[in-house]
Amino acid sequence: MNKLLLDEQLHRFLLEDIGTGDLTSESIFQDEKTEAYVVAKAGGVVAGLAVFERIYQLLDPSVSMKTHHRDGDAVTEGDHVLSMRGPAAPLLTGERVALNVLQRMSGIASMTRFAVDTLGDRSIRVCDTRKTTPGLRMLEKAAVRAGGGFNHRYGLDDAVMLKENHIAACGSISLAVERTRAAMGHMVKVEVETTSGAEVEEAVRAGADVIMFDNATPAEIARYVPLVPKGILTEASGGISMETIATFRGSGVDYLSLGFLTHSVQALDFSMLVRKECSV
């Protein structure tokens, strides 16, 4: 992650919630110090702890923090994932934004880990898509990695992906690949979406770096994979759910890309608790 870019994003998230000031904390607190900790309310994989910490550094550098886990760790209900100490006002002002980020990133990491485990085939890598929440792609892709997944291309500018619509508009896979190869330098990969064995073969001949099997069943994949020579990677995408992912075990494909990892996230629940006994 680019920390300068991260700071810009976190700054915006804080501005969104705090607006022109935290009316409640500003009218209740003077300079009271307090302690708080964050506890998992359910089991899963934690992700976003360093981001959580950075949010408080931006909000008030006098807040100190100690994390008890690392991104990618499994946690169970009741685990304290971090402790913090500092002025009561910023501790409470930052709570919601920090938890919103932690819960979302941990939800994605947990889902990814669950997908990897359910698939149960380490020769196949699970990866994300561009179906991320607008504005959160850098964080969501980090959460996928924390959960044991891999990242597909980041955006439209770091790899070529010839989808059905592009190919249709061009006339053929061959022509589409040719045009991109004529324009692209040597550091850009070209992936081609295919829907039949004939298209797989055409993509191979055209010189694709990666071949995607769109909405293919495990059985179809098993037929397509042998058509692809070593050195060209394969990816299955579309129509894969938590219910069906295990059926892709042993299919021989290199990557499964899963939109639901990021477009339909179940937040992993965490709470921040202030220690009441402290001298506030």
Which residues within the stretch 75-104 sit at the binding site for its own copies (CB under 8 A)? 88, 92-93, 96-97, 99-101, 103-104
Q: In terms of DSSP bridges, do strands 80-87 and 33-40 run parallel, antiparallel, or are they unpaired?
A: antiparallel
The catalytically annotated residue of 128, 140, 191, 193 is 193
Span of 62-70, 111-119, 186-194, 218-226 interacting with its own copies by CB under 8 A: 186-194
Within 200-239, which residues bind its own copies (CB under 8 A)? 210, 231, 233, 235
Site for its own copies in 9-48 (CB under 8 A): 9, 11-29, 32, 34
DSSP, res 280: -
- How far is the C-alpha of 10 from the C-alpha of 52, rounded, in Å? 9
Give long-range contacts, CB 8 A cutoff, 24+ apart: 75-80: 75/40, 75/43, 75/44, 75/45, 75/46, 76/40, 76/43, 77/40, 77/41, 77/42, 77/43, 78/39, 78/40, 79/39, 79/40, 80/37, 80/38, 80/39
Minimum CB–partner distance for residue 82 and its own copies (Å): 16
Nearer to its own copies, 68 or 131 (CB): 131
Type and span of the H or E element at 168 = helix 164-170
- Write out the binding residues for its own copies, residues 127-156 only, by CB under 8 A: 127, 130-138, 145, 150-156
Active site residue 131: yes
Active site residue 214: yes
CB of 197 to its own copies, least distance (A): 21
The residue from 158, 242, 249, 250 that contacts its own copies (CB under 8 A) is 158
Closest approach of Cβ 98 to its own copies, in Å? 10
* Residue 96 appears among annotated catalytic residues: yes
- If binding is defined by CB under 8 A, does position 241 make contact with its own copies? no
CB-neighbour burial class of residue 227 (10 A; exposed 0-12, middle 13-18, buried 19+): middle
Which three-class secondary structure state does DSSP give residue 39?
A: strand
Residue 141 a catalytic site member: no
- Please state the closest distance from residue 162 (CB atom) to its own copies, in A: 6
Task: Please choose, from the candidates 33, 47, 130, 129, the residue with its C-alpha nearest in 3D space to the C-alpha of residue 84.
Answer: 33
Contact stretch for its own copies (CB under 8 A) within 64-72, 77-85, 157-165, 218-226? 157-165
| Contact between 107 and 267 (Cβ < 8 Å) | yes
Q: Which of residues 47-66 bind its own copies (CB under 8 A)?
A: 58-60
- Asked about 193 being catalytic, the answer comes back as yes
Residue 256: CA count within 13 A, CB half-sphere: 34
Q: How many CA atoms lie within 13 A of 41 on its CB side?
A: 11
Q: CB of residue 74 vs its own copies: minimum separation in angstroms?
A: 20
Catalytic residue positions, numbered: 96, 131, 163, 193, 214
